[in-house]
Chain A
Amino acid sequence: MTTRTRETTRLKPHWSSIFENGTGARLYPYLMVMPAILIAIGVVVYPVLSGITSAFHDVTLRTLNSGDMPFIGLRNFERVFADPNFVLASLNTLVWVVLNVVAQLGFGLALALLLHRIVPGIGFFRSGILVPWVVPSVVAVLTWRWMYDPSVGIVNEILVRLGVIDAYHPWLGDTATALYAVTVESIWKGTPFVMLLLLAALQLVPKSILEAASMDGASGWRKLWHVILPQIRVSFAIAAVLTFILTVNNFNAIWLMTEGGPLNSSEILFTLAYKYGFQRFDLGMASAVATMLFVGLVIATTLYLKLIQAKEAD
């Protein structure tokens, strides 16, 4: 194999040998990076910039058709702030994000600690618990919608049999419960990924530290609080930021279960922007909401990158 390679290159210069010396060698990395960069500029940089720009222009179906989209300054933002649904959607987004992040991190950590123990059958439990992560989002959401069915849903039946409620309840159809019912699905779907990240971190905690803590007589809780958590804190923070980003960007769960209803009770900023854009066809207002979300996510992303760098420095 090696000898053949040697012969071919010696006898007949390979076409790629122009990259061996001088300008060719300097160009080589650029040539390899260039296609991906050009496409990324075309499909990410340009659209993001033009998305932010549309927030300051009057972009509706009418102006799109005429091709003249006038600059209107902050008018789109003013119109968004004047919409009572925007206030409601902001509050809902807050509830939605806090519940999702807290529950996914809490359950994710609990699951990781459970699954970290090497006991008979652990492989079986580990793969079972990853099921929500693997099932396609649309399929998972539609299944939960079916489970929440107000007349024959299994959620109602189980809760009635357990004595939690005494009559079937329209979970997705009631303004008081719709947002929370969707949140349960989203926690179910998101927790296994958090578990995966934390399990990976737990496996890197040196055994000697844990043993030393046990020898010193540390109880389970104190060991968790004073030994394990400090060891995995960077991974935990990364999981928190990632969960935050994924929750803000989670559209399928709410859209396919309630479309933000009933009476906007489960509207979050993402679905509100979507409605401005593709039901009212006021793309300028939609861009204004999207730009605000974008600023929040850029802050979160920056934090995430800082954390990754901190981890690499460790």
Chain B
Amino acid sequence: MASTRSSAPLKRTRTPKAVRLGLLYVGLWAAFIWCVFPFYWMIATSLRAKDEIFARPPSILPHSITFQNYVDLLIGAEFWRFAMNSLILTISVTAISVLLAVTAGYAMARHKFKGSVMLPLFMLYGQMFPPVLLLIPFYIQLRFLGWLDSLYGLIPVYLSYMLPLCVWLMRGFFAQVPHSLEDAARLDGCTRWQAFWRVILPMARPGIVAVATWVMIHTWNEFLYASTFILSDKNRTLPLGLSGLIGQYTTDWGMLMAGGVITAAPILLVFFFLQKHLVSGVGGGAVKG
């Protein structure tokens, strides 16, 4: 009895530990492959020659690699126009939302005034509205103003989607900057504005970067509003242009996947460099508030 008691815990902890670690890695690899495979498949398809793309059965590894799909895509003026439209839209929406969110978020985090408790909640509600409910009034309004099928008409539409969450997130970041810093600056003779501009703003820079990146990514990717309000080819954004490559009967999947890679590339680059800020900013912001 005594001998089993002393040897049993040793056995129970030693062997299963290796087994458990092995199982852990099996699970990790399974999850990794499940998550990454579609992305791999897009890249692999974009690098295949046309006849290989439609070969049956499909092979996991490409037999030969060609950049023909990318050349075909980038040679057309269409692609560049779509990319330019997306870029103009992304820069405008990001600049406006960040500017407004910084001032509003700061005031909400720092000052007590009528509505300083209600407003942030109201902003969060704004983020949860079903886009389909906004789609219809926006369509009626844009049509009335003659802004349907206009790139600039999309700016207010996108602000409805971006601004509330930006304000909410910025307020969260400003709330984390210690009060004492601002008080010290004020004692040093700074005006309110100077204290904000020279002391608080630099401290909140990581938050500003996270919010700006969030807006950039979402504007760059937006599909629903653009596909409803943009009617002519010349005003299409990149995601719209991409979906336009789907044909009714035949689709050039090689070119489409190349377009997918190019559309995703800037996002992946941004994500790669700002991973830490983004993950804590968006993931944390969603539960911390």
Q: Spell out A's residues near B (CB within 8 Å).
A: 2, 5-6, 9-10, 14, 16-17, 19-20, 25, 28-30, 32-33, 35-37, 39-40, 42-44, 46-48, 50-52, 54, 59, 64, 110-111, 114-115, 117, 119, 122, 125, 127-132, 134-140, 142-147, 149, 151-154, 157, 160, 188, 192-193, 196-197, 200-201, 235, 238, 242, 245, 248-249, 251-252, 255-256, 270, 273-274, 277-278, 283, 286-287, 289-291, 293-294, 297-298, 300-301, 304-305, 308, 311-312
Closest residue of A by beta carbon distance from B143? A64
- How many residue pairs link A and B with beta carbons under 8 A? The number is 287
Which of these binds chain A: B63-71, B73-81, B108-116, B203-211? B108-116
Among A138, A143, A290, max chain B CB count under 10 A is at A138
- A47 contacts across to B, CB distance below 8 A: 134, 137-138, 141, 160
- B286 contacts across to A, CB distance below 8 A: 197, 238, 242
Q: Are A64's CB and B140's CB within 8 A? A: yes
CB distance from A9 to the nearest CB of B (A): 5
CB distance from B189 to the nearest CB of A (A): 5
Q: Give A101 to B217 CA distance when docked, in angstroms.
A: 24
- B137 contacts across to A, CB distance below 8 A: 46-48, 50-51, 54
- B53 contacts across to A, CB distance below 8 A: 152
CB distance from B225 to the nearest CB of A (A): 10
CB distance from B146 to the nearest CB of A (A): 14
- A134 contacts across to B, CB distance below 8 A: 264, 267-268, 271
Which of B32, B57, B132, B198 contacts A290, CB < 8 Å?
A: B132
- The reply to whether the CB of B181 lies closer than 8 angstroms to some CB of chain A is no
- B224 contacts across to A, CB distance below 8 A: 251-252, 255
Which of A10, A14, A35, A152 contacts B54, CB < 8 Å?
A: A152
- A136 contacts across to B, CB distance below 8 A: 217, 220-221, 239, 263-264, 267
Assess A197 versus B283: contact at CB under 8 Å? Given A33-B107, A44-B126, A128-B36. yes
Q: Are A293's CB and B41's CB within 8 A? A: no
Q: Give A98 to B289 CA distance when docked, in angstroms.
A: 26
Q: Are B190's CB and A270's CB within 8 A? A: no
Q: A138-B221, A256-B243, A294-B130 given. 13 additional CB < 8 A pairs? A: A16-B194, A29-B110, A33-B107, A40-B160, A51-B134, A122-B28, A130-B35, A131-B36, A142-B257, A201-B287, A273-B132, A277-B139, A290-B132
CB distance from B100 to the nearest CB of A (A): 4
- The reply to whether the CB of B192 lies closer than 8 angstroms to some CB of chain A is yes
CB distance from B63 to the nearest CB of A (A): 14
Assess A297 versus B130: contact at CB under 8 Å? Given A278-B228, A283-B140. yes
A selection of 16 A-B contacts at a CB cut-off of 8 Å is: A14-B191, A20-B191, A32-B104, A32-B107, A36-B163, A39-B156, A44-B163, A47-B141, A128-B32, A134-B271, A135-B39, A139-B239, A139-B242, A143-B41, A245-B128, A277-B136
Q: Are B136's CB and A43's CB within 8 A? A: no
Closest 4 CB pairs of A and B: A16-B193, A36-B104, A29-B111, A43-B160
Q: Are A9's CB and B221's CB within 8 A? A: no
Among B128, B257, B275, max chain A CB count under 10 A is at B128
CB distance from B61 to the nearest CB of A (A): 12
Q: Are A143's CB and B257's CB within 8 A? A: yes
Q: Give A153 to B55 CA distance when docked, in angstroms.
A: 10
- A48 contacts across to B, CB distance below 8 A: 129, 133-134, 137
